[in-house]
C-alpha cells in the first residue's frame, strides 16, 4: 500500500511535468485506436463474418464496463477481440467435427457400393444405423487438432479473465 507521504510526493512531481518531450512514437495513438476491431472480422471466403456481430459484442462490453479513459477503452476493445476469437474457435471445432462426420458418412456409402460390386448381397443392414454407429465411433477430428484448439481455448480464457480483472482494478481507482 502506498503511504500518504508518497502519494503527496507523487502529486507534487506530477505538477512539474510538462508532458512528453518527444511525441514521435505516440502521435498516431488516436489513429491506431480501433485498429483491432477493423482487423479481427473475416470479410471474405467461406468463413466470412459479420462486422455488426462484432460491433454488438463491443458495444455490450462498453455498456457493461463503461470505459472512461483511453486505456480502459483499449482494454475493452481487446476483450471484445478475445471474445470474438473464442467464438471463432468454437465454430472451428464444430466445423472440424462436422467435416469428420461428413467424410465418415461418405466413406461408408462408398465402401458399401464397392462391396456390392464384388460380393453377394448380405442380409439387409440398415445403412443409416450403420452410419450412426460409425459416426459415434469416429466423430472427433484428429486429436492433434483438438489439442491445439484446446490449448488456444485455454489461452483465450486466461486472457479474457486477465483483462476483466484488470478492468475491474482500474474501475476501483
Choice among 78-82, 97-101, 107-111 with the minimum mean pLDDT:
107-111
Q: What is the pLDDT of residues 142-165, one digit of tens each?
A: 667 778 888 889 999 999 999 999
Q: What is the pLDDT of residues 47-85, one digit of tens each?
A: 889 989 999 999 999 999 998 888 899 899 999 999 999
| Residue 80 neighbours by CB under 8 Å, 6+ apart | 37, 54, 57, 58, 61
- The chain-wide mean pLDDT, for the chain, equals 76
Percent of the chain with pLDDT over 90: 25
Minimal CA–CA distance to 84: which of 149, 151, 39? 39
pLDDT of residue 160: 93
pLDDT band at 30; cut points 50, 70, 90: very low
Distance CA 95, CA 129 (A): 23
In the chain, what are the domain boundaries? 47-118+125-172
Amino acid at each position: 500500500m502506498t503511504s500518504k507521504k508518497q502519494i503527496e510526493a507523487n502529486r507534487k512531481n506530477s505538477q512539474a511535468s510538462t508532458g512528453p518531450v518527444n511525441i514521435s512514437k505516440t502521435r498516431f495513438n488516436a489513429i491506431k485506436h480501433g485498429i483491432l476491431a477493423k482487423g479481427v472480422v473475416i470479410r471474405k471466403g467461406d468463413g466470412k463474418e459479420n462486422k455488426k456481430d462484432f460491433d454488438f459484442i463491443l458495444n455490450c462490453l462498453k455498456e457493461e464496463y463503461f470505459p472512461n479513459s483511453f486505456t480502459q477503452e483499449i482494454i475493452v476493445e481487446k476483450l471484445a477481440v478475445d471474445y470474438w476469437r473464442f467464438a471463432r474457435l468454437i465454430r472451428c471445432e464444430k466445423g472440424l467435427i462436422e467435416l469428420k462426420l461428413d467424410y465418415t458418412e461418405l466413406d461408408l456409402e462408398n465402401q458399401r457400393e464397392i462391396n456390392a460390386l464384388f460380393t453377394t448381397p448380405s442380409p439387409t443392414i440398415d445403412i443409416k444405423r450403420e452410419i450412426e454407429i460409425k459416426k459415434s465411433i469416429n466423430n472427433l477430428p484428429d486429436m492433434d487438432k483438438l489439442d491445439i484448439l484446446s490449448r488456444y481455448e485455454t489461452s483465450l480464457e486466461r486472457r479474457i479473465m486477465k483483462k476483466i480483472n484488470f478492468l475491474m482494478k482500474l474501475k476501483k481507482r
